[in-house]
Amino acid sequence: MGRGVILVRHAMPEVVQGVSSTLWWLGESAREDCVLLAHALPDGLTDPMYSSTEPKAAETAAVIALRRGLRVEHDAAFAEVDRPTTWDEDYQAAAREYLTRGERPGWEPAHQVLARFTAGVQRAMAATGAGDLLVANHGMALSIYAASVGSINLVPFWGALTFPDAWRLDLESGTVARLFEGGLPTG
């Protein structure tokens, strides 16, 4: 087993219609889910762990880091796919279309998401010692990266993600293994 990246999908945010999802925070029960996730992670994690700068991922990382005795570095490379901030009643269908095609009008192209996420992983790996890199981030960006490293089917993988969720990607073998499965699925 080679060095890996543990990708943590943030816990369920408090959804507020009319407020951009990039500004959503976690509710109390979501913070409790993060505690359970923190205890399910393996030993040998790098310090610091990394997180998207969005509040829901940063808060997920903060809870995990507190429980595991880690510091958190925030990096915009791990942000979710940039997309319009208007409320979309059929977000699940729009996201599936985007992941299938790799593009959607007004959405950051998937190849750009992959490039920035990969660059973030490479920077973080170079800055940390041996052990698995831990990154708290978001469903679509996580899935795009995971599909580039491991042998997964992108859209079903994304649809099966839960809030929160954790997956280990072995960077040498390309194996992908679930470490934690939270409550609500993506869709």
Is the domain spanning 4-181 CATH 3.40.50.1240? The answer is: yes
pLDDT for position 185:
65
Q: Please choose, from the candidates 8, 78, 77, the residue with its C-alpha nearest in 3D space to the C-alpha of residue 42.
A: 8
Least confident segment among 1-5, 34-38, 109-113: 1-5
Question: Angle between the 139-149 and 110-127 helix axes, to the nearest 10 degrees?
Answer: 80
Domain boundaries, the chain: 4-181
| Number of separate helices (H) and strands (E) present in the chain | 6, 6
Q: What integer is the mean pLDDT of 12-35?
A: 93
36 neighbors 59 (Cβ within 8 angstroms): no
Q: Is the pLDDT of residue 70 over 60?
A: yes
Report the share of the chain in percent with pLDDT over 90: 85
Q: Is the pLDDT of residue 133 over 70?
A: yes
| Per-residue pLDDT tens digits for 78-91 | 999 999 987 777 88
> What is the dihedral angle through the alpha carbons of 27, 108, 153, 54, rounded to the nearest 10 degrees?
-20
